[in-house]
Amino acid sequence: MASTINQISSINWITVLIAGTLVFSIIQGMIRGASSSARHLALMAAEGAAIVVGIVLSWWLSSWVSPYVQGWLVELNIVIPTKDLGLFEQFYYTVVTSVRDFPLLRLGVLFIIGYAVIKQIIYRMINPFFGHWGTDKFQGESRHASTKRPGMISSVMGGIIGTFSGLGRSLLIVAALFIYTTFLPQTEITPYIQASTLYQEGATAVIKPVAGDFLTNQLPVFTRKFEAEVNNILQRKYDVLDAQIPPGIAEAAKEVTLKGTTDEEKAKLLYKWIGTRVTYDWDKVNLYEQKKIWKEQTPEETYATRKGVCIDYSRLYAVMARSIGLEVKVVTGLGYDGRGGYGPHAWNEVYLNDSSKWVPLDSTWVSSGGNWFNPPNFNQTHIREV
């Protein structure tokens, strides 16, 4: 029993998936026979061509129209209202302002819309050539024909055609896995994928020569831009949620920073005040860890109760900082737990006009000691979320 389990655990299931796709296509081709397999292969080829043409045209069209869409949205002069917003309003302002301000998101949205429209147009254009294959009449004939087993020659030819279909499907799987491992080389599953012999052969023999150095050189650059934009979109969510600044919090922020003469001094005064006035809410943590109940709270609630967790510290800091004219972000990611690992965490970044740069700070960790306002080792203990 133990040896059987060991043998199963030693199987690379990526190899099984690729090989299984090929074998399934061959068997499917043999069952269908030559003529039905040929029709299926032709349909696959036509759909593949439609997809490729749709992607190319959609990419060109979205790249061309993106600046015009941005200009139109800028002219609308959409401003996030400083009032309590409902769920629909939060969604609206988050999406519209993000599409306006973030080029990769805007390009992605336009690409998806363009691809959906263009693909339908292409299908309608090729429908006169292939549409009759999907009609009820043909389907009825196919079901009637399927009751008759194809002859030996027809089955062999169907199997050969099925082999070509299976190779195409398998290469699509390899291509998708190759893009995944190039995008996310640090994930745990990446070495497992790369250990598959069939994946290695497909990637080495076909994908890499076709793609050249584009995927390995250009995708990491794109990934870094994508990561930065995802963080900006997450930040926009909190901008919308906390757009309203309660008068009491604004007055408190003004009083706390009264002695500050520069952006840095004001940012530090707020950092120390929140870090020493707000206490960490372990009951909230235990409620989530033990019962999976998350208690969402606004910056106003954090200010009133003087209790919260890292995201509450960060949102309160952001609201207070904005009320005195500072530009600030809420950043989510992982924080060092002091035991050799990392756990979910949130902190802030504030822009200092004095030095024209963004600096990180963590008001949650003030009570633990040490300097967490732009220390030199901040990135070693805080990892931004993607």
CA torsion sign, 247 to 251 to 257 to 258? Answer: positive
User: Which range of residues forms the domain containing residue 163?
Assistant: 2-229
The span from the CA of 221 to the CA of 226, in Å, is: 9
Out of 229, 256, 278, a domain closes at 229
- pLDDT, tens digit, 9 for 90 and up, residues 336-385: 877 778 888 999 999 998 888 999 999 999 988 888 999 988 888 888 77
User: Does pTM top 0.85 for this prediction?
Assistant: no
The radius of gyration of the chain's CA atoms, rounded to the nearest angstrom, is: 29
Smallest CA-to-CA distance from 246 within 81, 91, 82, 80 is with 82
Q: Give the pLDDT score at 145.
A: 46
**Is 240 contained in some domain?**
no
Smallest CA-to-CA distance from 227 within 105, 58, 375 is with 105
Please indicate, yes or no, whether residues 291 and 200 belong to a single structural domain of this protein: no
Please indicate, yes or no, whether residues 165 and 193 belong to a single structural domain of this protein: yes
Please indicate, yes or no, whether residues 308 and 354 belong to a single structural domain of this protein: yes
Domain with 267 in it: what CATH number? Answer: 3.10.620.30
In this prediction, the residues of the chain whose per-residue pLDDT falls under 50 are 133-146
Q: What is the DSSP letter of 351?
A: E
**Is 236 contained in some domain?**
no
Instruction: With beta carbons less than 8 A apart as the criterion, state whether 37 and 29 touch.
Output: yes
For residue 336, the Cα-to-chain-centroid distance in whole angstroms is 24
Instruction: With beta carbons less than 8 A apart as the criterion, state whether 36 and 158 touch.
Output: yes
Please indicate, yes or no, whether residues 34 and 168 belong to a single structural domain of this protein: yes
Q: Give the pLDDT score at 226.
A: 60
The span from the CA of 386 to the CA of 374, in Å, is: 21
**Three-state secondary structure call for residue 358:** strand
The span from the CA of 374 to the CA of 349, in Å, is: 9
Q: Give the pLDDT score at 129.
A: 62
Please indicate, yes or no, whether residues 22 and 58 belong to a single structural domain of this protein: yes
Out of 229, 256, 272, a domain closes at 229
- Structural domains counted in the chain: 2
Q: Give the pLDDT score at 81.
A: 75
**Is 235 contained in some domain?**
no
Out of 196, 229, 262, a domain closes at 229
Instruction: With beta carbons less than 8 A apart as the criterion, state whether 106 and 67 touch.
Output: no
Please indicate, yes or no, whether residues 191 and 288 belong to a single structural domain of this protein: no
Please indicate, yes or no, whether residues 194 and 262 belong to a single structural domain of this protein: no
Please indicate, yes or no, whether residues 122 and 206 belong to a single structural domain of this protein: yes
**Is 380 contained in some domain?**
yes
Please indicate, yes or no, whether residues 7 and 147 belong to a single structural domain of this protein: yes
